[in-house]
Structure 1
Amino acid sequence: MAKQTSKNLVFKNKKAFHDYMILDTYEAGVVLEGSEVKAIRDGRVNLKDSFIRIIKNEVFVLNMHITHMSTTHTSYRPDERRSRKLLLHRKEIDKMYTKVTKDGITLVPLKLYFNSKNMVKMQIATAQGKKLHDKREDLKQKTMQRETQIALKNWK
């Protein structure tokens, strides 16, 4: 799902906002191969099932799907679901590692976008899983808000 805002594309992971309670957010660069950047510009990204792991003091996003372009050469097509390294400062990685190991908190990707310098960035977050009743409560609040907006709109 792509959202066009002025010049930069934004791909959101809606499932993460539904399944997790977001605590802290970080901005990370993504190590990509040439054809993948072009595919992202074309909107061929899916963050739905992706997740983040810290492996040997490096942060990787796993299971992020970037479909290759039809114009990409057949002998050079990177794996669509390969693990991609995220670029963060050492202090941030250490901070996330302590939270994940001690507190039972997970790392989830929230957004993939192009920043003002046209670099691909990913917003990641430390998050805590929601219980089923929390999800139901959120859905109730959203429907109530939607109904009040519709009622106010129709009242005028």
Structure 2
Amino acid sequence: MAKKKKAPDNTIARNRRASHDYLLGETFEAGLVLQGWEVKSMRESKVTLSDAYIQLHQGAAWLHSCHIASLNTTSTHNVIENTRNKKLLLHQAELNKLHDAMDKGGFTIIPLSLYWIRNLVKLKIATGKGKKLHDKRASEKSKQWDKDKSRIMKESRND
């Protein structure tokens, strides 16, 4: 039997700590203003989102501390900043929602994942509140119970 072909995964990078450290709220999709060498590095998946955060400044959203490693073939004529601040492309209504969530609700804006849509790089962002230690323990306990519950149900079906 022939091996199944794997579906193409358009994900460039994922922030795995986001759901562990934050209670996530509404999600948004934003475009990014990038330079050519950054796009080439993203094609090679040389991006880290773990330390990245988003700030609203001068009526726009900016991605800070997103590390994009440069390729060996990158031109030496360009000044390369691996953690350059990148502007996010959002509609004004989305910016207003994010601004209101930060001001009124005490939410922060967290980058979740970078992915391709056709030839465009998109960033999935979400509003979220930081979890306390007891919240992390409770969510870990509920995840463990869900795993145990599914295992018990599977065993009962097999008997």
TM-score (norm 1): 0.88
Corresponding residue of 2:102: 100
How is 1:43-62 mapped onto 2 (pairs within 5 angstroms)?
43-62=45-64
Matches of 1:101 and 1:5, distance apart in 2: 41
If you compute each CA radius of gyration, which structure gives the higher value, 1 or 2?
A: 2
- Please say if residues 114 and 123 of structure 2, whose CA atoms lie closer than 8 Å, have aligned partners that are also in contact: yes
How is 1:55-70 mapped onto 2 (pairs within 5 angstroms)?
55-70=57-72
How is 1:1-156 mapped onto 2 (pairs within 5 angstroms)?
5-115=7-117, 117-149=118-150, 156=158
Letter of the structure 1 residue corresponding to residue 82 of structure 2: E
TM-score (norm 2): 0.86
Matches of 2:130 and 2:11, distance apart in 1: 28
Letter of the structure 2 residue corresponding to residue 39 of structure 1: S
RMSD: 1.9
Letter of the structure 2 residue corresponding to residue 62 of structure 1: H
Matches of 1:132 and 1:77, distance apart in 2: 42
Provide structure 1 residue ranges, at least 5 long, that are not aligned to the other structure: none
Deviation at 1:118, TM superposition (A): 2.0
Provide structure 2 residue ranges, at least 5 long, that are not aligned to the other structure: 1-5
SS of equivalent to 1:61: strand
- Please say if residues 9 and 41 of structure 1, whose CA atoms lie closer than 8 Å, have aligned partners that are also in contact: no
SS of equivalent to 1:14: coil
User: What is the percentage of aligned positions where both structures have the same residue?
Assistant: 38
Matches of 2:40 and 2:61, distance apart in 1: 23
